[in-house]
Amino acid sequence: MHDDQAELIRALHDAHGPALFRYVARLTHDYGFAQDVVQETLLRAWRRPAILQQSDESARAWLFTVARNLVIDDRRSARFAHEITTDRLPEESSADGADSVLDKWLLSDALLSLSVEHRTAVVSAYYLGQSVAEIALRENIPEGTVRSRVHYALRALRLALQERGVTQ
């Protein structure tokens, strides 16, 4: 009995499934929900073996009626009345600036752990965009010392960020 019933439901799906899906999709404009309705409609047909024994036209009319009633029931439900539709998925992250603020705070904290000379070299070179020559002239030190300070400051900064769990 189950094999015959499974064959009949497959035949019913093959004959009417695509048209039923298009019908529900036009009613709801929601393809995911339309698939759910078609599945529920065919499940209800499977639970009522008498439907599977009817003529093709009668079974089709029954399927479309059940699908239409499922859509109407859903639209009348409290869930639908309180549901808010949106184009943005809740899984999407929004740019609220928290990451930027956190990054700035972590970097500021790590920079404060450097010596004054190293911090000055990094800030001058990377944030103020000054050249090695400009920094050397302003600080009244040789250019090689500026390069050395920047090099060791970056190493110390990397270590400070690793200690804070920011980098590896």
Per-residue pLDDT of the chain (168 residues; tens, 9 = 90+): 467 778 878 888 888 889 999 999 998 888 899 999 999 998 898 888 787 778 888 888 999 999 999 998 888 877 766 666 777 766 766 677 788 888 889 889 999 999 999 999 999 999 899 999 999 999 999 999 999 999 999 999 999 988 888 776
H helix runs in the chain, sequence order? 2-28, 31-47, 49-53, 56-76, 78-82, 98-112, 116-122, 132-139, 143-163
The rounded radius of gyration (Å) of the Cα atoms in the chain is 34
Which residue segments constitute the domains of the chain, with CATH numbers given? 2-82 (1.10.1740), 110-163 (1.10.10.10)
pLDDT at position 58: 86
pLDDT at position 128: 92
Max intra-chain CA distance, the chain: 98
The answer to whether the beta carbons of residues 162 and 120 sit under 8 Å apart is: no
CA angle 154, 159, 165 (to 5 degrees): 125
The answer to whether the beta carbons of residues 42 and 59 sit under 8 Å apart is: no
pLDDT at position 1: 47
Tell me which DSSP letter residue 91 carries: T
Tell me which DSSP letter residue 78 carries: H
pLDDT at position 148: 95
pLDDT at position 34: 92
The answer to whether the beta carbons of residues 45 and 9 sit under 8 Å apart is: yes
- φ, ψ of residue 83 to 5 degrees: the values are -80, 140
pLDDT at position 77: 77
